[in-house]
A and B are shown apart, each in its own frame.
Chain A
Amino acid sequence: MIVADKKPIDEVIETIKDYEKILLLGCNECVTVCEAGGKKEVEVLASALRMYFLNNGKKVSIEEKTLERQCDHEYLEEIRDVIDQYDAVLSLACGVGVQFTADKYLSTPVLPGVNTCFLGATEKRGVWTERCQACGKCILASTGGICPVSRCAKRVMNGPCGGSTNGKCELGPDTDCAWQLIINRLEAMGKMDEYEKLSPLKDWATDRAGGPRTVEREDIQS
């Protein structure tokens, strides 16, 4: 899923301070799972903001709504009838939701309430880790199912680099060395002979480097 993290409240206040009627818009998908921008977080943030503005003698109205998805035309349409009542939308969706909302409602300021961090997994409640950088050409078949693009600080394709120490990355003891993990997997699967195959130069054209990407599936388009 897309993992996001809450923005510090001071930063949120700074971005919305010039508006009086604000719609705080959550999303029921990834940001709900990672507890950054679902219904619950919308409630908590709305209360904190109301409290702040009340204490500072500022009249700001904050209304709450959480959509099924902000990355989908269908659900975003749900606010079409009410959007003009607001000076701004504070979206707690990922960067995709913020932009999709902004695209749709041209004249309304749409502000981000979370930092979109990465594509990752839940390790345990409150801890999420990165697993994928959406490079557009998956190489996991040849790297023991561990991704050096997202999990190696230097995205080394023929690793590890010289900095790998006791299974940890040269960045420090908090980061696993992706190549140690790859080697562990290759060993466990009895495929260490694959280690010596040189990885070809990666084609980054399907990555961010190639410009904004589109997936088109004619077979399912209506």
Chain B
Amino acid sequence: MKTEKSRLEKVLEKNFLAVTSECGPPRGSDPSEIIEKAELLKDHVDAINITDNQTAMTRMSSLAACIHVKQLGLEPVLQMVTRDRNRIALQSDVLGAASHGIKNVLCLSGDHQSFGDCKSGQNVHDIDSMQLVQTIRYMRDEGKFLGGDDIKVPPQMFVGAAANPFADPYEIRIPRLAKKVASGAEFIQTQCIYNLDKFEDWMKRVVDRGLHEKVHILAGMTPMKSAGMAKYMKNRVPGMDVPDELVKRLSDTPKEEQAQKGIDICIEDIQRLKEIDGLHGFHIMAIEWEEKVPEIVEKAGLYPRPSI
């Protein structure tokens, strides 16, 4: 069985700037919420990431939500964290996803369970996110399970990982990306970018090492809803780099106009980043603000999406 490549992979292969977005599954068994969110994004993105119990809050499984999205004719990116499942469950879910025609996967370690609603739960971490990338690539390319047995029909997955260009320690930002590429990651979605100068510097070093030729990097963009959100992201969210200047631009804007300002800044940022060497697309994460994604995509000049 030869499966066609995912839309995301094809868009990237053809050198278009890809656009992805992200939705969180509902905290209940009614799928209508995820369906409504996905409908909002439908014509403006190439693929939609479906988060996997993000911030360790228990939700509908990413795989089930991906199936709902897929049934709408949209392309999901299955997010998989290594926190909750061992290598048996992970391999098994990859096969399950492939059986539903899901063709993109993003491998993550997942936030620690102490941030979520099951603080007293165990975490698994049988393998880590890079090893999950390796595992899925092995299943796909070698057609084998980790245990060595042949997989009857291997899963066709386009395999991605996350990267934080602003992460500590500074000295391993590029080596760590190189390691992800070596593990087999084919696309990278980055942490939200607010400090464009630093991101551009990171990208320059990515290009210097030639990593942009081995992996497709999608810049993570999240519009700020308010000055309050900017301050929170700056001070409270680990690994986030929010320049004072951005906080000030939002604080200097009247409250009722801050949301629009946030959108405008996001559009401006995308326009600036579109020009940089080696960047292959954007991952627009507008959490609980999905209705704004079409406006951002259109005004940033990323619409219409190419027909493949």
Decide yes or no whether B29 CB sits under 8 A from chain A. no
Decide yes or no whether B126 CB sits under 8 A from chain A. yes
Question: What's the Cα separation between A150 and B7 when bound, in Å?
Answer: 41
Interface residues as binary, A193-220 with B (CB distance below 8 Å gives 1, 0 otherwise): 0011011011010000000000000000
Residues of A with C-beta under 8 A to B129: 156, 158, 161
Decide yes or no whether B175 CB sits under 8 A from chain A. yes
Chain B: which residue is nearest A163 at the CB level?
B238
Question: How many of chain B's residues have a CB under 8 angstroms from any CB in A?
Answer: 36
Question: What's the Cα separation between A159 and B168 when bound, in Å?
Answer: 11
Shortest distance between the CB of A113 and any CB in chain B (Å): 23
Question: What's the Cα separation between A187 and B171 when bound, in Å?
Answer: 10
Name B112's contact: one of A171, A183, A196, A198 (CB within 8 Å).
A171
Please judge, given known A-B contacts A154-B112, A165-B239, A170-B112, whether A180 and B128 are in contact too, CB under 8 Å. no
Name A156's contact: one of B128, B171, B182 (CB within 8 Å).
B128
Q: In the complex, which range does the number of interface residues on chain A fall in? A: 20 to 34
Decide yes or no whether B178 CB sits under 8 A from chain A. yes
Please judge, given known A-B contacts A154-B83, A163-B239, whether A201 and B146 are in contact too, CB under 8 Å. yes
Residues of A with C-beta under 8 A to B146: 201
Question: What's the Cα separation between A215 and B149 when bound, in Å?
Answer: 31
Contact between chains at B238 and A170 (CB < 8 Å): yes
Residues of B with C-beta under 8 A to A192: 171, 175
Chain A: which residue is nearest B168 at the CB level?
A164
Chain B: which residue is nearest A153 at the CB level?
B112
Contact between chains at A183 and B171 (CB < 8 Å): yes
Shortest distance between the CB of A180 and any CB in chain B (Å): 6
Residues of A with C-beta under 8 A to B131: 157-158, 198-199, 201
Chain B: which residue is nearest A195 at the CB level?
B175
Contact between chains at B175 and A162 (CB < 8 Å): no
Shortest distance between the CB of A205 and any CB in chain B (Å): 12
Question: What's the Cα separation between A159 and B109 when bound, in Å?
Answer: 10
Contact between chains at B125 and A155 (CB < 8 Å): yes
Residues of B with C-beta under 8 A to A136: none
Beyond A157-B131, A163-B239, A196-B178, list 9 extra A-B contacts (CB 8 Å): A156-B109, A160-B172, A161-B128, A164-B169, A170-B112, A195-B172, A195-B175, A196-B175, A198-B183
- Residues of B bordering A, CB below 8 Å: 82-83, 87, 109-112, 114, 123, 125-131, 134-135, 146, 162-164, 167-169, 171-172, 175-176, 178-179, 182-183, 191, 238-239
29 A-B residue pairs with CB within 8 Å: A153-B112, A154-B110, A154-B128, A156-B109, A156-B129, A157-B130, A158-B129, A160-B167, A160-B169, A160-B172, A162-B162, A163-B112, A163-B238, A165-B168, A166-B168, A167-B169, A170-B238, A171-B114, A183-B171, A195-B179, A196-B178, A198-B134, A198-B179, A199-B131, A201-B87, A201-B127, A201-B135, A201-B146, A204-B126
